[in-house]
Amino acid sequence: MQHKLITFIGGGNMAQAIVFGLLNKGYPAEKITVCDPNQQKRDLFSQKRVNVSNDNMTSVQSAEVVLFAVKPQVLTDVCQPFTEKSEIDFSNKLVISIAAGISVARIQALLPTAKNIIRIMPNTPALVSQGMAGLYAPENVTDKFKYFAESLLNAVGKTCWVDNEQDMHSITAGSGSSPAYFFLFMEAMQQALVEMNIDKSTARLLVQQSALGAAQMVKENPNVSISQLRENVTSKGGTTAAALAIFNQQNLQEMVRSAMSACVQRSQEMEKDL
Ligand SMILES: NC(=O)C1=CN([C@@H]2O[C@H](COP(=O)(O)OP(=O)(O)OC[C@H]3O[C@@H](n4cnc5c(N)ncnc54)[C@H](O)[C@@H]3O)[C@@H](O)[C@H]2O)C=CC1
Ligand SMILES: O=C(O)[C@@H]1CCC=N1
């Protein structure tokens, strides 16, 4: 992939996952700058030879790509100085936002000179090259920038494009937020094993390997449905059937549907309210 000069505004959890994931894949540290007011966050990056700064203005000025990785709630305050204080020209830069629930129109209003704005909804497994990111670009964005954004995220996982920006809400439920659902499930399994007298680290290993193995089986058997993989584990009248009966009794499927709908709804609210 091309190694453009990229400035991250915000060096928190998601920026760390992407930047460290990119470094692991050989993206040159000297081409990346991370701006964050928090010294401890900056130290995490400078330890890896990434350029750091607490001066957003200067770092954005020299960037070819500016990636906004701040909380959606602060995006307005973060962008205002670019237009009000120094009139930075974004017209030749690729602007990427990973902020949940912030539309392209909103970013365009905050950065009127920007001509190429792409929204990406990544997730933290990018850190271990197993990320999943949904991308949306309005029609005016050049193919060259779309290709760059896609290859950036492909370097740390898989990607998919959506044509309709409204679908980014659902993508958030399926990429950005979804590792947390699996972590919650794994926490619950670990806790149950501990209560069955399995020591905590062995419980963690059992959960980790089962989750990893199950995901790998889904990945390596694209022509086998996930239901079939489940059925292959489930002997009639056996142990798995006993466990699954409880999940079904408690309507796990409905619980998952409601949880993911709540995620979408919150993203939609954020789009309206922030
Ligand atoms: N954490 C996740 O799994 C995912 C997060 N996102 C999105 O990524 C964005 C960042 O989320 P996190 O990394 O979780 O948040 P975070 O709170 O870990 O990181 C945000 C960072 O922005 C910094 N910051 C605050 N004001 C700043 C300013 N004026 N200039 C530069 N940096 C500033 C903070 O010091 C902090 O380090 C959010 O918009 C979120 O919606 C998207 C997908 C997944
Ligand atoms: O929870 C959030 O709002 C962010 C966006 C997706 C994952 N974390």
> How far is Cα 250 from Cα 246, in angstroms, rounded to an integer?
6
Half-sphere exposure (Cβ direction) of 6: Cα atoms closer than 13 Å: 27
CATH of domain 6-169: 3.40.50.720
How many residues can be counted in the chain? Answer: 274
166 CA to middle of ligand 1, Å? 22
Instruction: Tell me if 49 sits within 8 A of 29, measured CB to CB.
Output: yes
What are the start and end residues of each CATH 1.10.3730.10 domain in the chain?
178-271
68 CA to middle of ligand 1, Å? 8
Average of pLDDT values for 25-38? 97
What are the start and end residues of each CATH 3.40.50.720 domain in the chain?
6-169
Average of pLDDT values for 195-200? 98
Per the annotation, does 12 bind a ligand? Answer: yes
How do residues 130-145 score in pLDDT, each as one tens digit? 999 999 999 999 999 9
Evaluate: CB of 177 within 6 angstroms of ligand 2.
Answer: yes
Q: How confident is the model at residue 159 (pLDDT cuts 50, 70, 90)?
A: very high
CATH architecture of the domain covering 178-271: Orthogonal Bundle (1.10)
- Judged against a pLDDT cut of 80, whether residue 86 lies above it is answered with no
Residue nearest ligand 1's atom 34 by CA:
10
Q: How confident is the model at residue 89 (pLDDT cuts 50, 70, 90)?
A: very high
Residue 1 confidence (pLDDT): 87
Residue 196 confidence (pLDDT): 98
Instruction: Tell me if 6 sits within 8 A of 67, measured CB to CB.
Output: yes
Evaluate: CB of 134 within 6 angstroms of ligand 2.
Answer: no
pTM, rounded to two decimals: 0.97
> How far is Cα 213 from Cα 154, in angstroms, rounded to an integer?
22
Evaluate: CB of 33 within 6 angstroms of ligand 2.
Answer: no
ipTM at complex level: 0.99
> How far is Cα 245 from Cα 106, in angstroms, rounded to an integer?
46
